[in-house]
Amino acid sequence: MSAPLAAAPSWPRSWYAASAHPWQPRPPLTGEAVTDVVVVGGGFTGLSAALELAERGYAVTLLEAARIGFGASGRNGGHIATAYNQSMATIERLVGREDAGHLWQLYEGAKALIAQRVARHRIDCDLHWGYLLAAVKPRHRGELARSLDEWRDRYGYPYGRLLDRDETRAMVDSPRYVGGLFDEGGGQLHPLNYALGLARAAEAAGVCLHEGSAVTAVTPGPQPVCETAEGRVRARVGVLLAGNAYLKSPLPAARRVMQGRIMPVGTYMVATAPLGAARANALIPADVPVADILFVLNYYRLSADRRLLFGGLVNYSGIDRAGLARRLRRTMVHYFPGLADVPVDYAWGGNVAITRNRLPHLGRLDQNILFAQGFSGNGVALTGMAGRVMAEALVAASTRFDVFARLPHGRFPGGPGLRVPALVLAMAWLRLKDLIG
């Protein structure tokens, strides 16, 4: 008999959940099944991989522990940022100029893939292009200029314009910024509706979606078997692990290879009450998402119903401390003193998976068990491509997957017990640099 679906965790209370398109829960996996590929995780990465494989004619079963978009994909800022969370110069040092070039193209391809899929599958997710990186301190202006030089001169990026203080203020009415970089190639979307749109597209292509179906074990072999509380599914071709920061490691090799190379980091968002069109337009006349470049960054944008969706704060201790929403609101008012009277209607948080070098971690646990994780805050763009190349690599040779898989990834120091305290200390130091630098 099926477990009652209500037992499966639903989305956290957030503005995204409140404004999600209607979604009927999908039934959990029960009994025995056979498919070509099992995808574990129903976020952007898993959905992208499932869609890709179904479009190539494979039978796909996607198992999601909770609800589609339950993880970071249904909670994030919705910012589509340009370029990795690491300088291209460092990437060149890590993997050489040629692979760095491929990685640049893959990132640009990831942004284009969002546009293609949204258009092709008519996904209603408020996708818009245009992005502002804001400088809080004079030294940030130099950093932005160096990034733009790198993107343009070495990688031929066609967009990007440096802004002085007044030009920045004309785009976002905050007294805190001393300059900015306007990027026509970045963008924004409603992440949960994008995830649900991908899920519908995947189903239309033949993917079997099961919610409330946490994979508790994966038995490797020529045809790996995934087990849930009430079902088992054998995968004739292979298994793709797309649980990222939320993955409850279902097989020992995952613990060995994947854990320790990512750190789940809490980040938080609030949504104000609707501001009304006039006030919202005066606040961010350019109507673009804005992120500063502090190490512990603040990021925000206007929603379709003219709320400010403001994100920030990182909690490396893994504990959701009380009062985070209050602190975040204080930061918001610091950037926008005029919002002091505006109530916050929603506050929520989620986990981002970061890697030590802030670059994504893709690889194989076995010839037919692949994974992708550790998008380090840039997953809105990167996950679509990661899912696609992981799918490609399972069924054919994929030089694109191999380029990602060649990125070297160290472990966070300290082992399971000490990793978090060590990171908390490192982050406290970097936060201090934000404040005094």
Ligand X SMILES: Cc1cc2nc3c(=O)[nH]c(=O)nc-3n(C[C@H](O)[C@H](O)[C@H](O)COP(=O)(O)OP(=O)(O)OC[C@H]3O[C@@H](n4cnc5c(N)ncnc54)[C@H](O)[C@@H]3O)c2cc1C
Nearer to ligand X, 229 or 424 (CB): 229
Q: Which is nearer to ligand X, 63 or 365 (CB)?
A: 63
Judged by beta carbon, residue 81 or residue 88, the one nearer ligand X is 81
Amino acid code (one letter) for 199: A
Q: Which residue, 147 or 351, is less far from ligand X as judged by CB?
A: 351
CB of 245 to ligand X, least distance (A): 6
Give the separation between CA 24 and CA 420, rounded to whole angstroms. 38
Residue reference for tokens 């606040």: 283
Residue 270 identity (one-letter amino acid):
V
Shortest spacing between CB 210 and ligand X, in angstroms: 9
**Closest Cα to residue 289, out of 407, 185, 175?**
185
Please say which residue, 13 or 97, places its beta carbon nearer to ligand X: 13
Q: How far is the CB of 357 from ligand X (least distance, A)?
A: 15
- Report the C-alpha gap between 295 and 155 in whole angstroms: 24
CB of residue 436 to ligand X, shortest distance in Å:
26
CA 437 and chain centroid, separation = 28
What the block records as the tokens of 271 is 């949504």
Torsion of CA 205, 368, 394, 203, to 10 degrees: 10
Cα distances from 287 to residues 24, 187, 301, in angstroms, run 32, 10, 7
Which residue's Cβ has the minimum distance to ligand X? 379
Q: Considering the complex, what minimum distance in angstroms separates the CB of residue 270 from ligand X?
A: 11
The least CB distance from residue 98 to ligand X, in Å, is 26
Distance CA 92, CA 357 (A): 13
Note the residues at the interface with ligand X (CB under 6 A).
Answer: 40-46, 63-66, 70-73, 75-79, 81, 214-215, 242-248, 250, 267, 269, 299, 311, 349-352, 375, 377-381, 383
DSSP codes joined into one string, 28-78: PP-EEEEEEEEEE--SHHHHHHHHHHHHTT--EEEE-SSSTT-SGGGTS--
H/E run at residue 372: strand 369-373
Q: Which residue number, 177 or 299, has a Cβ lying nearer to ligand X?
A: 299
Measured from the CB atom, is 142 or 416 closer to ligand X? Answer: 416
Nearer to ligand X, 70 or 316 (CB): 70
Distance CA 285, CA 172 (A): 6
Cβ-based nearer residue to ligand X, 383 or 398: 383
Residue number with CB closer to ligand X (15 or 182): 15
The minimum distance between CB 226 and ligand X, in angstroms, equals: 8
Residue 234 backbone dihedrals phi, psi, to 5 degrees? -95, 135
Distance CA 258, CA 379 (A): 17
Q: Which residues contact 189 (CB under 8 A, 6 or more apart)?
A: 78, 80, 114, 118, 125, 126, 127, 128, 380
Name the minimum Å distance from CB 375 to ligand X.
4
Within a 10 A sphere around the Cβ of 406, how many other Cβ atoms? 15
Dump strand ranges (E) for 148-296.
161-163, 179-188, 208-210, 217-219, 225-227, 231-241, 263-272, 290-292
- Minimum CB separation of residue 278 from ligand X in Å reads 26
CB of 97 to ligand X, least distance (A): 25
Cβ of residue 169: shortest distance to ligand X, in angstroms? 23
Instruction: Tell me whether residue 93 or residue 216 sits nearer to ligand X (CB atom).
Output: 216
- Give me the amino acid identity at 346: Y
Counted residue by residue, the chain has a size of: 437
